[in-house]
Each structure stands twice: as structure tokens, then as C-alpha cells.
Structure 1
Amino acid sequence: MALTSRRLGSGPPLLVLLQLDRDAWGPVLERLAREYEVVGVDLPGFGDSPALPETSTPTVETLAAAIAEWLPDVGLTRPPVVGNSLGGAVALELARMGAVGSAVALSPIGLWTRAEAAYALGSLRVAHAMARACAERPGWIAGHPIGRTVAFWQLVARPWRIPEEAAAGALRNLARSPGFERTRRAVRAYRLRAFMPEVPVPVTVGWGTRDLMTPPHQALRAARMLPGARHLSLKGCGHSPMSDDPEQVSQVVLDAIGA
């Protein structure tokens, strides 16, 4: 696929998977770009990347396969990868495939029960409807702390602190992502499988202590499912920790890659 990507900085390559959280990654990418050539790619169907063909169901595994096939086209060979939420699950599947050299997964989906998946994806559907309703004037919501809280409470621990520009960008991205609804339906059945016989590459899994979308008790399931991975908590962060504490997230990524 012809996916949309952008590069920042110089040094060894670092792949960052972007989707609805693209604007939230901005400060983190700038920090990582001081030491790495950061390649941020919009997952198929999100941001400026086209959706998968109608004949292909956008499951987590299918999205990972699309990224793996795209890597040689842009000159990347088994780079370290970082992703959040859906991107975190795709990062873990890329690690399973051996397509990347290491993986950092923040609040990955797929460690949920059926009820938890319904809640998380249902709340995103409401957020999507809100974003589409104000697509032409996102400032109506993004311009006020109360509006930002209503729009992002399930994703960010302190949504009223999101910069107005970042909030407006997130709403626009959510409203226009062509693959959102198909992907939302497709990933509901996804469950992370244990790596057999073991994690093939270094893996770090981080979970926000104030995550309302995929609550921190799912981190306990991650630890049981991936005993060979490194597990850590992102203190004071919600489901999108890049918005709450970009410095903490940057340091987690740098430490994981350096290790």
C-alpha cells in the first residue's frame, strides 16, 4: 500500500504507528527525533493513509501485515516500533512476525473481555459521531476546557489541559479517517495471543495508571500473556499517555530502545 508517512530527525530509524492519536504524538516525536530518524506512519484507514481494499478486513493482524509489506518500500529493515492503543496491538503483532527489531506497546487493545471491548469501542463510536458533527468547526469543542473534557475524557487523564490546536487536530483526524468504522468493527473480536514459544524480540508494554479506555487491570493480563516482556506503569496517564506526559512517554521509549 501507499501509506502516508513523515520523517523527523536523523540517526537510527524508529517507526511510530499513528492513527487517531496522531496529533498527540507531536511533542514525543520531536523529543525522539533528537536521537533517531523518526518515521511516523498513518495506519491504513487513518490520517492521510487510504483504507484497506473492501475485500480486506482491517483486523489487527491485517494491519500489521500491511505495515510489514510497506517497510521495504521505504527502506526500513526491522526497525524498532512504537504504538499506542490499536497501534500498540499492531506493534505487538509486528514483533510476533519478526518484522521489527523491538516493540513498545502502550495501552494495547486485545487484552479486554467482550464487555470491556464493547465499552471501549462504543465510547469511540460516540466520540466519532461528535467529531463528525463539528468537523467544519472543531473549535466549538476544542476551544473550551469543558468541550475538551467532554470530547476526550475516556482517552486523556487531564483532557482540559490538551492544547486547543492539538484537540482540534484530533477531532478533524477522527472525523475524516476513512477506515475508522470498518476498523472499529473488525478489531472488536481481537484478542492478544501469547507469543510461542517466547517473545522473539525485546518488547515493552506500558499502561497508564489512569486509563479509562483499557483499564490498568488489563496490564495484569498482559503480564501473564507476555511473561518475557518488560512491563511498566505510566504514572498519572490515561489511555493516550502522550497527551498527559510526553516527557515520561519519550523516556520510556528511549529506555526501551536503548536497552
Structure 2
Amino acid sequence: MTVQFETLEYNLGGTKTVVKAIGKGKPVLFLHGASTLEGFDFAEGLADRFRVLCPSHPGFGFSGPAPHVAGMSDMVLHYLNLLDVLGLPEKPHLMGFSMGGWMATELAGVVRERFDKVVLISPAGLNDPEHPATDLGEIAPQELPAYLAHDVSVALRYFPDGSDTAFARAFGADRAREGETLGRLLAPFGMGHPNLRRFLARITNPTLVVWGTKDRLLPVSQAPLFVEALPDARLILVENAGHFVMQEEPGTLTKVGDFLAGSNRFQ
């Protein structure tokens, strides 16, 4: 069954920005990773308690081109502008996955007062040499699904299987388009910021860090580093899940929702 989203569209500084929204309740702003190939269907797992807002970054997904983007600071500015135009009735929670976790860290580090709670899921950005991430450039395309999910069949759902040539062409075009923007985002420092711990130290918001124990892209050994750097953090380790932890273990979203709602069920 296809998840039904509301589509919101804004013009931010000349950049078409599309937000997919679902659910009712306190808003949650979700920042996606370095690709949109897995989509936003995971948000249905939070939509019973929250209004989940899933923007496509400039140059990614449903949003328009963004030739001006030269680094992560441009994305932070973009999302400050989006918060202004959204005019939300209350402080949203902030949730970021992978590269979006890095993005959320810089955003919350700069304007922590604009958010309630923060959730970082398999966040990138730390670039700790003792806990190195896998270099995406060294992964052969056919091997990528096995790096995204411990159960490779979960990741393969989002890749062409040879049965639909139109989908395969669109998939390739989308990845090329997003890859071009990603290259400019990563040009300054690679997949992170050398001073990210300084941003983390400023995030006094209650924060949840979520990591799959079988993540082959970003090692789970980074998880304690995030927790130690954050003033008020909790950690959930999801056993036998890879980078796509929300897709592999959908029950993780119940725990995330409990944390955001302040439920006594969250331990």
C-alpha cells in the first residue's frame, strides 16, 4: 500500500523546496541522508502521533536545483529559511538520518532554541580517524545495497531489478543529479566537519542517538562518541540492523516516537 503524503511547495531564495507531510500532532522536521532512494515511507511509523515534515534538500529528491550550494552552511541557512516560512504553531522536534544527522547537528548547534527534542539516526559528520566511515567512492554500485542494510533484501527494494527500464533510467538520473549536489556539499571537508564536537556540545536539547549494530557505512563504534559529546543524550543500539535501521527494524520508530512524546514506555 502506498503511503499518502500531503505535498507542500515553497520558493526559498529562488530554490523550489518540496516538503512531504504526513500525520497530525506536534511537528517533526526530518532531514534525509545523502540520497533519497529509500523515500520517506518510514514516516508512517510516526504519523499516528506527529506531523512529520520531510523536505527534500535543495538539489535532491523532489526539490529543485541548487547550483549555489557550496557546503553544509548553505543547507543550514536553507533550513533556517524553511522554518521561517513554515510558521509552525510550536517548536518542532528535529530528526536527521546519516548525512541529515550531520546537517541536524549543525542546525541544532546554531539554533537549538528553535527545536524541542533532537533525534540523530546513524549520523554522519564526525570524521573520527579512529572510527573511519566507509568511503562511498570505493563501493562498487552493485555492492551498495549490502552496505545500506544488513538484510540486503531490504535495501534491494529501492534499486532497479532489471524489470522496469523506465524506473532504471529515472533511478540513474536521480542519483546523478543528487550526486552532483552532494559533491559540492562535501567539497570543503568530506562527509563531516572537523569541529563537529563543538556543535554537539551546544545541543542542550534532549537528544536520542540511534544506531544499527551492523552498520557498514558508519561504524557503530562512533555512537558513544556522539553520546559523550552531547550534553543530554540517550542511545539506542538496534541489533542486527545496518545503515537503513528504520527500514530494517520499523519497531525502532515506536521507540523514537516514545522518546519524542516523553512516554514512560521509553527506556
Classify 1:163/1:114 alpha carbon distance in 2 versus 1 (closer, same or farther; 3 Å).
closer
- The residue aligned with 1:238 is 242
Greater fraction helix: 1
Contact 1:20/1:174 (CA < 8 Å) preserved in 2?
Answer: no
Classify 1:25/1:49 alpha carbon distance in 2 versus 1 (closer, same or farther; 3 Å).
closer
Classify 1:50/1:26 alpha carbon distance in 2 versus 1 (closer, same or farther; 3 Å).
closer
- The residue aligned with 1:142 is none
Contact 1:82/1:103 (CA < 8 Å) preserved in 2?
Answer: yes
Give the counterpart of 1:107 among 109, 113, 122. Answer: 122
TM-score normalised by L of structure 2: 0.75
Count of paired positions: 233
Contact 1:21/1:240 (CA < 8 Å) preserved in 2?
Answer: no
Q: Partner amino acid for 2:236?
A: L
Contact 1:112/1:214 (CA < 8 Å) preserved in 2?
Answer: no
Contact 2:59/2:177 (CA < 8 Å) preserved in 1?
Answer: no
Give the counterpart of 2:159 among 153, 167, 172. Answer: 167
* Structure 1 SS opposite 2:20: strand
Q: Partner amino acid for 1:92?
A: T
Question: How far did 1:209 drift?
Answer: 0.5
Question: How far did 1:106 drift?
Answer: 0.7
Give the gaps of 5 or more residues in structure 1.
131-146
Q: Higher relative contact order at CA 8 Å, sep ≥6: structure 1 or structure 2?
A: 1
Q: Partner amino acid for 2:26?
A: P
Contact 1:208/1:234 (CA < 8 Å) preserved in 2?
Answer: yes
Question: How far did 1:29 drift?
Answer: 0.8
- The residue aligned with 2:3 is none
Give the gaps of 5 or more residues in structure 2.
1-11, 161-166, 263-267
- The residue aligned with 1:152 is 145
TM-score normalised by L of structure 1: 0.77
- Mapping of residues 52-67 of structure 1, within 5 Å: 52-54=66-68, 56-59=69-72, 61-67=73-79
Question: How far did 1:24 drift?
Answer: 3.1
Q: 1: CA distance between counterparts of 2:131 and 2:171? A: 24
1:254 aligns with 2:243: no
CA RMSD of aligned residues (A): 2.7
Identity of aligned residues (%): 27
* Structure 2 SS opposite 1:4: strand
Q: Please list every run of at least 4 consecutive aligned residues from structure 1 whose deviation after the TM superposition is greater than 6 angstroms.
A: none
* Structure 1 SS opposite 2:176: helix
Q: 2: CA distance between counterparts of 1:228 and 1:6? A: 30
Question: How far did 1:227 drift?
Answer: 4.3
- The residue aligned with 1:181 is 183
- CA-to-aligned-CA distance 1:85-120 (integer Å, 9 cap, x gap): 011111222222223222101111122235866733
- The residue aligned with 1:119 is 134
Classify 1:219/1:116 alpha carbon distance in 2 versus 1 (closer, same or farther; 3 Å).
closer
Q: Partner amino acid for 1:57?
A: A
